[in-house]
Structure 1
Amino acid sequence: MHLLHVRPPAEGPCPIVCDKGFAGAGIEAAAARLGHPLIRPRRHDESHPGPGHPFPAWLRQRIEAVIWALKNQLGLERHHARTTDGLWARISQRILALNAAIWHNWLIGAPVKRSLTAYDH
């Protein structure tokens, strides 16, 4: 929610996708005040999925795969960023490096395109 105050969102309602840990009247009210739908999986003690829209299972799998890649493969578990802008810069540079490595692997005909083992020294 902090990023919505720091950076302007896109035009129109921008869905906020979050984990079930962000359940609560305060978060739901803050999202409603900003005019953004809150999308999250339901908690075990809820009979319906959070406010607004149901949370598709494929979206959770995609989010977890991206987070795993950022934390483990790209080393963002210990990013050492001190500001939000610094964190965005570090995430961007690592995603750019991963894309450059995949592109290079395609050019040289490497058998595994997403492998960064050859560049990990």
Structure 2
Amino acid sequence: MIAANEYNALSDLESKRQEALKSLLYDDEEFIYAIDINDAFLMKKARASKLVLTNQRVIEFKRGFIKETSKDFLLDEIASIEHKKGYVKRKISLEGHGASSEYQTLQDFGRKFVTAVRKEKNHNKKS
């Protein structure tokens, strides 16, 4: 099982992931925060998926050996985001415009991520 990490800057990610993630960002989009999410049993940390917060979106990002996948939620379209903490598992639940997803985290970075998303959504409303 992987040990989760958090990323406070794009430069905290390994170089291949940095470049792949930069290519997904819009010209006026800024990286804010990211965490590892547990998406496979015994997956190595180097291949763990990331949940990325920007000033415009939440992006689920995975870069593997062969393929790269991403899925995103615009911050304005997120209807609900919550952090659930059980005895062993911790989950982030995201809902918006007909789509919903759950992401398992291994440490309390999930709570921090949810708080950061709420803060950014609130900041965007004021702008």
If the length of structure 2 is used for normalisation, what is the TM-score? Answer: 0.24
Structure exhibiting the larger radius of gyration computed from Cα positions: 1
TM-score, with length taken from structure 1: 0.25
Q: Say which structure is richer in helix.
A: 1
**Bigger relative contact order (CA 8 A; separation at least 6):** 2
